[in-house]
């Protein structure tokens, strides 16, 4: 029995390169194939290109935030010190460290300004080696202006005066001015060190009996030597051994002073000069110290130098 061929209703496949097969009558057209989607990285790249500036700003903000958080988390919290902590630290330092005394600090400050003053002449014996007298002076101007006592340098201009500075350097000196009524003399050194330090002067207006003071000088040509004590009195009058010498308005002190201290500075615990040591009261023929010394107030001494700072 001969079979009847069965034909499919679907359109025949289009031959390669040929025209599309005609649709069968009464059939709906086949839907168009969807356009292929772009790869994801292409879409991301396009998005970044459209919003590049915004993304840069957001990235900067995010990076700054992350850095701040990292710094905050990595930095330990600072401790706030209380007064109790400060007091404990000070007490610990005082217990473990030895601090210099007020006297030591005062002397260290004045020491660069203290000079040894000598009268030079023919030697009376081998021990003196040409030194006729020894005293002390204090530099008040860095150009080499020195205050001392008149009895240290004398009234004879033929006597040679030499000064020795704190660094050991020596120089001849000339007497610029004499003030006998206050036993003062002003010297000018011929050669001065480059780093010469003048003393700091302080008015005696705020000085009171009982204030601590120190004297620096060359007692008996030994030194520089230092001694400390207190102000024993103010506005004192001193009469010399022969009663032909009267000094007034003096500072009385009990820091040890002996021959050779004359002309040296009397300083406060701040190392500031309040007077020039000028005399001691001693009933002994040797003239040794018994606890009463006198100094010319620095106002008077500075005026003798011609440049009072007060």
Catalytic residues: 151, 183, 262
Beta strands in the chain (DSSP E): 114-120, 131-141, 145-149, 160-164, 170-179, 184-189, 212-217, 225-239, 246-253, 265-268, 273-280, 293-297
Rounded to 5°, angle at Cα 258 from 127 and 161 = 55
Measured from the Cβ of residue 224, the count of other Cβ atoms closer than 10 Å reads 18
Q: How far is CA 4 from the centre of its chain?
A: 123
d(CA 111, CA 104): 10
Burial 105-124 (b: 16+ CB within 10 A, else e): ebbebbebbbbbbbbeeeee
Residue (of 190, 189, 109, 194) closest to 147 by Cα position = 189
Contacts of 245 (CB under 8 A, 6+ apart): 183, 238, 239
């Amino acid at each position: 029995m001969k079979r009847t061929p069965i034909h499919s209703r679907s359109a025949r496949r289009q031959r390669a390169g040929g025209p599309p097969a005609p649709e069968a009558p009464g059939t709906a057209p086949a839907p168009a194939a969807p356009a292929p989607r772009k790869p994801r990285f292409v879409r991301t790249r396009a998005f970044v290109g459209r919003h590049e500036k915004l993304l840069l700003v957001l990235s900067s903000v995010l990076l700054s935030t992350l850095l701040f958080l990292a710094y905050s988390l990595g930095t330990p919290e600072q401790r706030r010190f209380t007064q109790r902590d400060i007091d404990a630290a000070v007490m610990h330092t005082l217990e473990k460290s030895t601090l210099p005394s007020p006297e030591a600090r005062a002397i260290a400050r004045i020491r660069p300004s203290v000079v040894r003053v000598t009268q030079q002449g023919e030697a009376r014996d081998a021990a003196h080696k040409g030194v006729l007298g020894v005293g002390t002076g204090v530099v008040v101007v860095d150009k080499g202006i020195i205050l001392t006592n008149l009895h240290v340098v004398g009234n004879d201009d033929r006597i040679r005066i030499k000064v020795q500075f704190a660094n050991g350097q020596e120089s001849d000196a000339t007497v610029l001015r004499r003030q006998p009524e206050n036993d003062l003399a002003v010297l000018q050194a011929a050669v001065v060190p480059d780093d010469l330090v003048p003393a700091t002067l302080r008015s005696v207006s705020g000085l009171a009996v009982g204030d601590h003071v120190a004297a620096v000088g060359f007692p008996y040509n030994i030194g520089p030597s230092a001694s400390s004590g207190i102000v024993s009195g103010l506005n004192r009058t001193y009469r010399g051994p022969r009663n032909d010498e009267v000094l007034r308005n003096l500072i009385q002190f009990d820091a040890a002073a002996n021959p050779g201290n004359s002309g040296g500075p009397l300083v406060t615990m701040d190392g500031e000069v309040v007077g020039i040591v000028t005399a001691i009261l001693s009933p002994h023929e040797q003239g040794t110290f018994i606890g009463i010394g006198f100094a010319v107030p620095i106002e008077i001494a500075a005026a003798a130098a011609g440049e009072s700072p007060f």
